[in-house]
Amino acid sequence: RRVLFRSGIGLETADDDLRKNIINKGFTFNDYKKATDIMQKHNIKIKTYVLVKPPFLSEKQAINDSIGTIEKIKNITDIVSLNPVNVQSNTLVNYLWRHERYSSPWLFSVVQILVEGKKILGDKRIKCDIVGGGSIRGAHNCGECDRDYLQAISDFSLKQDTRVFNNLKCSCSDKWFDQLDLEDLGFGSLAKMYERSEERRVGK
């Protein structure tokens, strides 16, 4: 009798340059495809982890990279799991964050990737478990709306129904839109200003 397994692979991105030079994973997208070919032949289900906003990417680049990765693996993987970067001590990301050259992704960005990813994947599952969500070191918005967005993301991961996002609103979305529009003109400046406002809000 054949036993069904599920294997998780931390692909992170379908972009070989990002994976090699920024994430340092040590394998290529072609290696991923070879491995998944073998697993599919043995009836092993595949769960692929996608990293949201590795260092040195702008918010818009990070969104496009995650959506582009989902598009490239839609016929390979059975489940996609998004992993927004959170700032951990003694890491390059922590160094960049402390020097105001990195901020974790907005929850708005995570929602956009989930919505677009679901369109791409159809009946296949896409989910997101956010570590440190709502904190200044994790994926967050303004603080006032974080709990609602985190709950909606959790609900979507269970139900796979994008309508859970329909009634979400917050005025801080204007800052997110501004960042997407302007960040390429001065990378990090808007993220820096936002982080400083957050630190003032929480008294850090």
Q: Which residue has the higher pLDDT, 74 or 186?
A: 74
Q: What type of residue is 30?
A: N
pLDDT score at 4: 72
Sorting pLDDT into bands at 50, 70 and 90, what band is 183? confident
Sorting pLDDT into bands at 50, 70 and 90, what band is 2? low
Q: What is the pLDDT of residues 38-76, one digit of tens each?
A: 999 998 999 999 999 999 999 999 999 999 999 999 999
Whether the CB-CB separation of 25 and 17 falls below 8 Å is answered with no
- Sequence-separated (6 or more) residues with CB below 8 Å from residue 84: 52, 53, 104, 105, 110, 128, 130, 131, 133, 138, 139
Q: What is the mean pLDDT of the chain?
A: 90
Q: What is the pLDDT of residues 149-166, one digit of tens each?
A: 999 999 999 999 999 999
Whether the CB-CB separation of 109 and 52 falls below 8 Å is answered with yes
pLDDT score at 39: 94
